[in-house]
């Protein structure tokens, strides 16, 4: 079995006490309708959008996002502010994995966030992509009955059309460690980034099952290099994986031993353990020639576009539907080709930064 280990998501919190950065970005968008802001508004190298989790604004550069608020120490009192929340996605992390601290510092500097303020890791998602392993081969009963660890199978999801198993949850998202096992190919096709991940996998085109651990370092009382971003490194992940591989595991039942913790690893888990051990010797991260600016298009989106166009052609040129007649009819109704191109250019300036 071949596999790839990926740091898939990293959430950081900065104890930034001032509201100057929020005011700088808010000045560009405070006059905008919320509907426009939800779509995004281009400012310099970022797209400014609405925020989340109590943060009023977010600024996006591909899959790296910075969440801002005026509810900081300067306004709320020393130690009572929300600071700045940073969310780094897999494309950013894969591109900058070898020099992550400097890449984050450069991004923050570009956003106008200057100064040496503490950066803590509030959550990290680490994934192992198992090439050639299908979710269709997973026995739900075995995952339910033979899982040995602090948590247990909590949910499973099937494809609404085919009924095929696509995702297994172990544990609770509120706990320090939460596991998802899912069909990564199916998810990437829905998200439109299958070609990106296929490039990461060395052009592998078969089934891929992902095991993804969602870890909250502070809640789990993990070591300092998993809580303090300045100390975080590839060896931190190696040691974390060594812990996670034993935190919970899929076993083979031993009817002669009532102590479940003595049950042996299943073949699935033994293969996973062997790969993690092999990877840990070198701690190498995957790469992609496509980079963080890759923009995929999902099959579902293509079907949506095709359906919208064909429906419009049928409605606006019933006798002989065609794309050219559609453009003519739109022009007659005030939606000129020039205005469509103008709108497209505006949206393209947003999409190329997302």
pLDDT at 1 (0 to 100)? 67
Pairing of strands 165-170, 64-68: unpaired
Q: Output the pTM of the full model.
A: 0.85
Residues 22 and 72: their CA atoms lie apart, in Å, by 10
Domain map (residue ranges) of the chain: 7-117, 127-282, 299-351
pLDDT at 353 (0 to 100)? 64
pLDDT at 285 (0 to 100)? 59
pLDDT at 212 (0 to 100)? 97
Q: Collect contacts of 277-284 with beta carbons under 8 A, ≥24 apart.
A: 279/3, 279/5, 279/238, 279/241, 280/238, 280/241, 280/242, 283/234, 283/235, 283/237, 283/238
Residues 144 and 153: their CA atoms lie apart, in Å, by 6
Burial letters 76-95, b for 16+ CB under 10 A, else e? eeeeebbbbbbbbbbbbbbb
pLDDT at 290 (0 to 100)? 63
Closest CA to 352 of 61, 51, 65, 103: 61
pLDDT in tens, the chain (354 residues): 689 999 999 999 999 999 999 999 999 999 999 898 998 999 988 999 999 999 999 999 989 999 999 999 999 999 899 999 999 999 999 999 888 999 999 999 999 999 889 999 999 999 999 999 999 999 999 999 999 998 999 999 998 888 999 999 999 999 999 999 999 999 999 888 899 899 999 999 999 999 999 999 999 999 999 999 999 987 888 899 999 999 999 999 998 888 999 999 999 999 999 999 888 776 565 666 666 666 677 677 677 777 777 777 777 777 788 887 778 777 778 788 777 777 777 666 666 666
pLDDT at 207 (0 to 100)? 95
pLDDT at 286 (0 to 100)? 63
Q: At what angle do helices 337-351 and 323-332 cross, to 10 degrees?
A: 100
Task: Mention every residue, 6+ apart, whose C-beta is less than 8 A from residue 75.
Answer: 19, 81
pLDDT at 323 (0 to 100)? 83
pLDDT at 304 (0 to 100)? 73
Closest CA to 272 of 242, 239, 235, 233: 242
């Amino acid at each position: 079995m071949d596999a790839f280990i990926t740091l898939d998501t990293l959430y950081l919190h900065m104890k930034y006490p001032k509201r100057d950065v929020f005011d700088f970005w808010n000045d560009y968008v405070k006059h905008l309708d919320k509907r426009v802001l939800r779509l995004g508004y281009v400012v310099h190298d970022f797209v400014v959008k609405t925020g989340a989790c109590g943060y009023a604004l977010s600024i996006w550069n591909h899959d790296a996002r910075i969440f801002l608020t005026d509810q900081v120490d300067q306004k709320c009192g020393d130690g009572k502010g929300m600071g700045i929340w940073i969310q780094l996605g897999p494309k950013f992390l894969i591109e900058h994995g070898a020099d992550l601290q400097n890449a984050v510092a450069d991004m923050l500097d570009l956003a106008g966030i200057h100064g040496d303020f503490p950066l803590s890791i509030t959550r990290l998602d680490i994934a192992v992509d198992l090439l050639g392993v299908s979710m269709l081969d997973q026995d739900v009963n075995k995952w339910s009955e033979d899982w040995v660890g602090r948590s247990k199978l909590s949910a499973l999801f099937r494809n609404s059309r085919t009924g095929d198993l696509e995702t297994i949850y172990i544990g609770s998202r509120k706990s320090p460690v939460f596991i998802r096992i899912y069909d990564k190919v199916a998810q990437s096709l829905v998200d439109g980034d299958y070609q990106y991940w296929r490039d990461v996998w060395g052009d592998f085109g078969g089934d891929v099952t992902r095991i993804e651990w969602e870890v909250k370092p502070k809640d789990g009382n993990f070591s300092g290099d998993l809580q303090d971003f300045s100390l975080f490194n590839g060896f931190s992940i190696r040691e974390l994986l060594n812990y996670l591989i034993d935190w919970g595991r899929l076993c083979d039942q031993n009817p002669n031993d009532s102590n479940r913790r003595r049950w042996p690893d299943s073949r699935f888990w033994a293969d996973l353990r062997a790969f993690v051990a092999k990877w840990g010797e070198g701690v190498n991260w995957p790469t992609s020639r496509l980079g963080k600016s890759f923009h995929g298009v999902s099959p579902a989106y293509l079907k949506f576009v095709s359906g919208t166009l064909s429906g419009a052609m049928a409605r606006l040129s019933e006798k002989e539907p065609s794309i050219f007649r559609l453009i003519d009819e739109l022009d007659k109704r005030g939606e000129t080709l020039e205005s469509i191109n103008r709108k497209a250019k505006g949206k393209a300036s947003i999409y190329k930064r997302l």
